[in-house]
Amino acid sequence: MKTVEQKPKYHLNEEQEKKLIVREYRSLLRALKDKIKPGDKSILRQAFELAAEAHKTMRRKSGEPYILHPIAVAKICVEEIGLGVTSSVAALLHDTVEDTEITLQDIERDFGPEISKLVDGLTKISNVIDVNASKQAENFKKILLTLTDDPRVILIKLADRLNNMRTLESMKRENQLKISSETVYVFAPLAHRLGLYTIKTELEDLSMKYLEPDTYREIAKRLAETKRDRTKYINEFIKPIKEKLEKNNFKFEIQGRSKNIHSIWNKMKKKEVTFEEVYDLFAIRIILDSPPEKEKEECWKVYSLITDEYTPSIERLRDWVSTPKANGYEALHTTVMGPRGKWVEVQIRTKRMNEIAEKGLAAHWKYKEGTNMENRFDKWFQQIREALYHQDTDSVNFLQDFKTSFLTEEIYVYTPRGDIKMLPVGATALDFAFSIHTAVGSRTIGAKVNHKLVPISHKLKSGDQIEILTSNKQAPSEDWLSFVVTAKAKAKVKEALKEEKRKVSDEGKYTLQRKMEGIGASMQQENLDELVKFYKLNSNLDLYYQIAIKNIDLKELKEFKVIGDRIEFPKPIKVVNENKIESHGAAIHPTKQKDAELIIFGESSDQIMYHLANCCKPIPGDSVFGFITTGKGLTIHRTNCPNAARLMSNYGHRIVKTKWAKNKEISFLTGIKLVGIDDVGMVSKITNLISSELKINISALTIEANEGVFEGNIKVYVHDKEELDNLVNRLKALNGVESVDRYDMEDIPA
């Protein structure tokens, strides 16, 4: 992010820039005012001057001096996360080792080992990376290694990411997509897991701003339009509660707010509802000023007062006061039916709980004495340590496993003795067994959950009590990997399978050796690499194993040329235009400028072949990106494809910026789902509108009615998104049609 923008978006002269930099630095000192001890000012000044000098020739994409970024990161650390002077110094220096002549030895000499270690953890990895691994995943793995030694590293890293997201507007479109996907895929869940809810929601909203710009703007517009009504409603809702709390002599403050944009969008997708129908658009927070010994009692008293006034939804009660979340979060949540038939979420917490909710991990040190919160984080870090030291070499798989194991919501389950165990949502009885001990997990044949016999793949729920059944004859099998979710269980199963594979593979190795000697070639590594590549495998071990189990019979060896003791597979000669890449599908035309977009459906010369992804069925007008698929060329996905975040986060280097060219001659298959009131002539009205009025070709249509409600699935051929949007709006306008949605699922229903 250090290259100079061709046309800077802002214009300040040198004198104005100097004043701006000093003003921002002084703002950081003011934020640290209560935390500065004697001697701290000189260390901060030294770090600021060193960073300013080191970055003096660098500019951000917006054109502003680069030093404003580390200052902004330090301010986020102090004001929004609650860190102190040491973290601020590390934040000021966090890019110096990677981007300038300054070394870690210089940092350690001038600032000591603690700050040097933090800067080392924050320094991005070098460019020499395993080509099979994602740079992002590899980088993230390195960060996590430091996280377990000093959690401040990840907190500063989150501040760095938040500032980058806030200033993402100046970046190129493909970088915006990649960084936003990585943010929503890993960093927002990580912020959530560390208890930084405010930062988590801002990261989600900012990511959505670039990944789903149209939807983001639409929801933001709706929120702005309804702000006055919402404020009026919140005041109406709060009034009787406020009176009850005052009457019962509680010291409190009440905050009312609407849900964030990303959260509203998720609800709309998940529940398949419109903006107006979002279940609990409003959230009220009651913060009590309670002494520590009365916190729990007073939270429940307030809950009682609220539910006396408004009817609660029983299934929406969440008690994180009795059992706090793993990240220390404590609160009572309930959803109640407010005036005018609107659902409102109410959060009840104390001042201490609120600070932990706002500052998460950083606040944990302030309150850890006399609580078990330190123990919770320590357990989590220990689990991460185990995952890091026992994981295989595939960084992309590691990142996916880490996300599943450590960044999801957690459940609490019990051993037969009543000890509590924390596992991610979706964990199975087998995950529980491995969490007790590797030896127990490896020998598990079944389990009893709440005294009932269940299979090892049984998914656990919070509050379950589990007893594991084992047998000495049991051993891990390949199908276990399809249902275990924790990193520890996956790593241990893979370890056991690899050991078993190694034993079987010895026979395959011996077979290969005989065949190679038969054609006059040796077992040198270059030859093995050639065979692994030819059979499209991942390693020598896979090659030996496939030979041993007779999946490969090596008859192709006779087609290889033997040069000395080396083998080489003869490659067919193919003449291709130098601007042309072969694949399957339709054609796209790349423009000639550097970093230009690939234009889908351009002229017929210099074509690159591509195909449209089946998982999201893009059509012209959709926001799309190209993904280079191994062996299949370029695949075009929508930026809101269910797989987009994973692809862009894990394989950013294979993303190609892509846009549509106007072409009204080609039609695309897409699907729409309708729900409405079953009435006579409804099918006729729908088909007449699509075929006769709009002249759109219907590929397939199914409509099923049940108890007065119909649900229809229609496949249609459209030229572009504009035509599809017009169709959706016209269908919505039909009398009796309640909702019309485009399919986002993997493959349109038949």
Does a structural domain hold residue 717?
yes
Q: For position 682, which CATH number holds? A: 3.30.70.260
- Among candidate residues 201, 216, 231, the one where a domain is terminated: 216
Do strands 410-414 and 343-350 pair parallel, antiparallel, or not at all (unpaired)? Answer: unpaired
What is the sign of the dihedral through the CA atoms of 127, 132, 136 and 139?
A: negative
464 secondary structure, DSSP code: -
Residue 3 in domain: no
pLDDT of residue 204: 92
67 & 176 share domain = yes
Q: Is residue 57 part of a domain?
A: yes
The answer to the question of residue 370 being in a domain is no
Which of 99, 150, 218, 319 does the annotation list as catalytic?
Answer: 99
**From residue 16, how far is each of 11, 64, 73, 264, 455 by CA, in Å?**
10, 11, 21, 41, 69
Domain that holds residue 458: 375-494
* 188 and 92 fall within a common domain: yes
Tens of pLDDT, residues 327-341: 678 899 999 998 888
Cβ within 8 Å of residue 325, ≥6 positions away:
195, 409, 410
In b/e form, how buried is each residue of 228-238, taking b as 16+ CB within 10 angstroms? eebeebbeebb
For residues 18 and 85, membership in a common domain is answered with yes
Known catalytic residue: 99?
Answer: yes
Q: Which residues contact 151 (CB under 8 A, 6 or more apart)?
A: 194, 361, 377, 381
CATH number assigned to the domain comprising residue 278: 3.30.460.10
- Position 6 in a domain: no
Q: Which residue positions in the chain have pLDDT lower than 70?
A: 1-11, 124-149, 271, 277-281, 326-327, 360-408, 569-609, 630-632, 662-665, 744-750
Q: For residues 179 and 168, is the Cβ–Cβ distance under 8 A?
A: yes
**Looking at the structure, do residues 686 and 641 belong to the same domain, yes or no?**
no
Whether residues 75 and 203 fall in one domain: yes
Does residue 75 lie in a domain region? Answer: yes
User: Cα separations (Å) of 239 from 234, 304, 332, 351, 641?
Assistant: 9, 16, 20, 21, 44
Mean of per-residue pLDDT scores for the chain:
79
In the structure encoding, which two tokens stand for residue 464, read together?
A: 């379950």
pLDDT at 565: 76
Which residue is it, tokens 């016209």? 730
Decide if 160 is catalytic: no
CATH number at residue 61: 1.10.3210.10
Q: Give the chain's radius of gyration (CA, Å).
A: 30
Q: Which of 17, 24, 98, 711 is catalytic?
A: 98
- Of 444, 464, 494, the last residue of a domain is 494
Q: Where are the alpha helices (DSSP H) in 569-694?
A: 644-650, 682-687
Structural domains of the chain, count? 6
Note whether 119 and 197 are same-domain residues.
yes
Residues 474 and 620 in one domain: no
Whether residue 573 lies inside any domain: the answer is no
DSSP code string of 172-219: -HHHHHHHHHHIIIIIHHHHHHTT-HHHHHHHHHHHHHHHSHHHHHHH
What's the pLDDT at 379? 62
CATH number of 395's domain: 3.10.20.30
Let me know whether 335 and 236 are in one domain.
Answer: yes
Inter-axis angle of helices 487-518 and 373-390, to 10 degrees? 0
Same domain, 40 and 108: yes
**Are residues 207 and 87 both part of a single domain?**
yes
By the 8 A CB rule, do 472 and 439 touch? no
Same domain, 178 and 282: no
Question: Minimal CA–CA distance to 122: which of 82, 95, 162?
Answer: 95
Specify if 5 maps to a domain: no
Residue at which a domain ends, from 187, 216, 245: 216
One domain, residues 166 and 67: yes
What local confidence, expressed as pLDDT, does residue 417 receive?
Answer: 86
601-633 burial, b at 16+ Cβ within 10 Å, e below that, comes to: ebeeeebbbbebbebbbbbbbbbbbbbbbeeeb
The model's pLDDT over 14-59, given as tens digits with 9 standing for 90+, comes to 788 889 899 999 999 999 888 888 888 899 999 999 988 888 888 8
